[in-house]
Amino acid sequence: AQTVTQSQPEMSVQEAETVTLSCTYDTSESDYYLFWYKQPPSRQMILVIRQEAYKQQNATENRFSVNFQKAAKSFSLKISDSQLGDAAMYFCAYRTSNTGNQFYFGTGTSLTVIP
Amino acid sequence: GAVVSQHPSRVICKSGTSVKIECRSLDFQATTMFWYRQFPKQSLMLMATSNEGSKATYEQGVEKDKFLINHASLTLSTLTVTSAHPEDSSFYICSARITTGNSPLHFGNGTRLTVT
């Protein structure tokens, strides 16, 4: 299994401010996909953003953007203009490019948004 | 689109009994589905990859005889927890993806299993 590491178990941010969540991964593959998922208290997993490893350009989805550093095997998530609804567990995920296409998840970061 | 339905959302069973959890892709065909287990405040642990029409592939350390997976059609996979024990109590989540490019995983709402 691939290893995905999130070194920040908990983070907090003031409403309207910016926060960055860290993620690193270990792989010998050159082609793969990376994702950030959000899990609110309902426990429903919600896709936040995705990145293909072969793309150098960092993905952006509205207030969410990533900083993908392939050589460093780093994939951080930046949330701008944080909103109360952003409070959740955030999981970084790695998808292999082999036949199984399995997804492996990091340990998660619990984000608190302070009003 | 890409909705995954999981049933039941909650189940309580007695030790020694078996419990079946269903996972359906409602508006797409899924040749592959994935079953995860999540302990409180922890990450999702991949248990197995369910392949339509063939045997599931289990991750290391997951007992295939305890967690039976059947993927009989392109829209349905089932996970049966056999001879359940209290330590099997957990949150189980199924997922599936449309098999194109960078398509993400779509998740069911999960099943909270409590074994008494």
* Predicted local confidence at residue B30, as pLDDT: 86
Higher pLDDT, A20 or A96: A20
Closest residue in B to A47 (Cα–Cα): B104
CB-based contact B107 A45, cutoff 8 Å:
yes
* Predicted local confidence at residue B53, as pLDDT: 84
State how far the alpha carbon of B20 is from the alpha carbons of A111, B8, B42, B78, B83, in Å: 34, 9, 23, 7, 11
Interface of A with B (CB under 8 A): 1, 33, 35, 42-45, 47, 50, 52, 91, 93, 95, 100-108, 110
Of A43, A44, A102, the CB nearest to B46: A102
Residue percentage of chain B with pLDDT more than 70:
97
* Predicted local confidence at residue B97, as pLDDT: 82
Mutate to test the interface with A, among B44, B51, B112 (most CBs of A within 10 A): B44
Q: What is the mean pLDDT of the segment spanning A57-77?
A: 96
pLDDT category of residue A68 using cuts at 50, 70 and 90? very high
pLDDT category of residue A98 using cuts at 50, 70 and 90? confident
Most confident range (mean pLDDT) of A97-111, B38-52, B79-93 is: B79-93
* Predicted local confidence at residue A1, as pLDDT: 60
